[in-house]
Amino acid sequence: MPISIKDKVIVVTGGAGEIGSSLCRRLVDEGAAVVMVDIADGREIAAEIKKAKRGNKIVFVKADVTSEKDMAKMAAAALKNFGRIDAIVNNAGLFTACPWDDLTYDEWKKRLRVNVDGTYLATRAVVPAMREQGKGKIINIGSDTVWMGTPGFVHYVTSKAAVLGMTRALANELGPHGITTCYVTPTLLDTPGTRAAFQQGHFDYVLSHTPIGKFEKPEDVNGLIVFLCSDDADFINGAAINIGGGISMH
Ligand SMILES: NC(=O)c1ccc[n+]([C@@H]2O[C@H](COP(=O)([O-])OP(=O)(O)OC[C@H]3O[C@@H](n4cnc5c(N)ncnc54)[C@H](O)[C@@H]3O)[C@@H](O)[C@H]2O)c1
């Protein structure tokens, strides 16, 4: 039997972003029903996915992952449109560089609020449906900066390390309810967004330390997520899996 996510209902937070929108396209292509969640307007992307041969199984929900109210709205929209929630990909995040000397407490709090509180609140909103189903998958998008302690990213590394801890604790606590939790770590991608946000030196470092000798693209993240959303991954719980071409080998 091939790996299948056909008719799985999958929530993707940060779904209008670079990784998120690529993932939403792929999930719909694979036959899943997708709830694309973003604080930015993702209506056009969702409409394009619907139009481009990909079927009708995507809804966009404009919502802030740091808002309890919005996350309740997100879960309600998923249930209203598709009747269940099989998986959530906690992908919404703020990814910026800021040297320690320039880091303000406000900047620190902003990053932790979205990356940590947002992951918690989005997860909390979908767990009741998963418990009722006796099955669900929580997939947290982390970062390999956690393995490397990348300098210039203390706020970001801290936030993503917190999500790794959350992943392991949830794997233990929700596992008995049939809900698995995993953590996946892309490395620095080469995209218009990262090119605008990071310096050439970051890219040079990544390329020269990546054994397979090329940059990661959003599409490179998708396959693992498809697999983790499938029934074939039912026994994978509490795992942290690298998608970084071998730059870190945790
Ligand atoms: N791009 C990379 O190189 C890279 C590497 C490792 C990990 N990551 C992680 O991958 C994830 C996606 O990153 P990306 O590169 O696609 O970035 P992106 O900026 O293109 O996408 C992030 C999305 O999250 C949304 N978002 C931000 N705050 C939100 C909030 N409060 N509520 C709802 N949505 C919110 C943004 O609007 C955006 O659409 C992030 O968690 C990031 O940390 C990215």
Please determine, for residue 72, whether its predicted confidence score (pLDDT) is greater than 90.
yes
Q: Is there a domain that residue 132 lies in?
A: yes
Confidence grade of residue 122 (pLDDT, cut at 50, 70, 90): very high
Residues in the chain: 250
Q: Is there a domain that residue 250 lies in?
A: no
179-186 β-sheet, strand order? 58-62, 33-38, 9-13, 87-90, 136-141, 179-186, 240-243
Please give the distance, rounded to the nearest whole angstrom, from the Cα atom of residue 206 to the centre of ligand 1: 19
In a mutational test of the pocket of ligand 1, which residue from 13, 24, 37, 38 has the highest number of ligand atoms less than 8 Å from its CB? 38
d(CA 231, CA 185): 21
Number of structural domains, the chain? Answer: 1
CATH of the domain at 169: 3.40.50.720
Q: For residue 52, what pLDDT is reported?
A: 77
Q: For residue 125, what pLDDT is reported?
A: 98
State mean pLDDT over 57-72: 97
Q: Is there a domain that residue 248 lies in?
A: no
For the chain, first and last CA: distance in Å? 31
Q: Is there a domain that residue 172 lies in?
A: yes
Confidence grade of residue 56 (pLDDT, cut at 50, 70, 90): confident
Which residues, 6+ apart, have CB-to-CB distance to 35 below 8 Å?
Answer: 9, 10, 11, 12, 15, 58, 59, 61, 74, 77, 78, 81, 82, 85
- Which pair of tokens denotes residue 48? 């394009």
Please determine, for residue 23, whether its predicted confidence score (pLDDT) is greater than 70.
yes
Range of the domain at 117: 9-243
3-state secondary structure of 151: coil
The reply to whether ligand 1 has any atom less than 6 angstroms from the CB of 90 is no
- Which pair of tokens denotes residue 73? 């709205």
Higher pLDDT, 51 or 167: 167
User: pLDDT by residue (tens digit) across 205-228?
Assistant: 999 999 999 999 999 999 999 999
Q: Is there a domain that residue 19 lies in?
A: yes
Q: Nearest-CA neighbor of 246 among 173, 187, 172?
A: 187
Please determine, for residue 250, whether its predicted confidence score (pLDDT) is greater than 90.
no
Q: For residue 116, what pLDDT is reported?
A: 98
Q: Which residue has the tokens 């481009």?
A: 52
State mean pLDDT over 80-98: 97
d(CA 37, CA 27): 14
Q: What percent of the chain has pLDDT over 90?
A: 95
Q: Is there a domain that residue 4 lies in?
A: no
Q: For residue 16, what pLDDT is reported?
A: 98
Tell me, what amino acid is at 145? T
d(CA 97, CA 65): 21
Which protein residue's CA is at the shortest distance from atom 21 of ligand 1? 17
For residue 216, give the ligand 1 atom closest to its CA.
3
Please give the distance, rounded to the nearest whole angstrom, from the Cα atom of residue 2 to the centre of ligand 1: 30
Q: Is there a domain that residue 1 lies in?
A: no
156 is catalytic: yes
State mean pLDDT over 174-187: 98
pTM listed for this prediction: 0.98
Q: For residue 55, what pLDDT is reported?
A: 65
Residue 156 burial (CB count, 10 A)? 23
Q: For residue 53, what pLDDT is reported?
A: 67
Q: Is there a domain that residue 3 lies in?
A: no
Whether 153 contacts 98, CB under 8 Å: yes
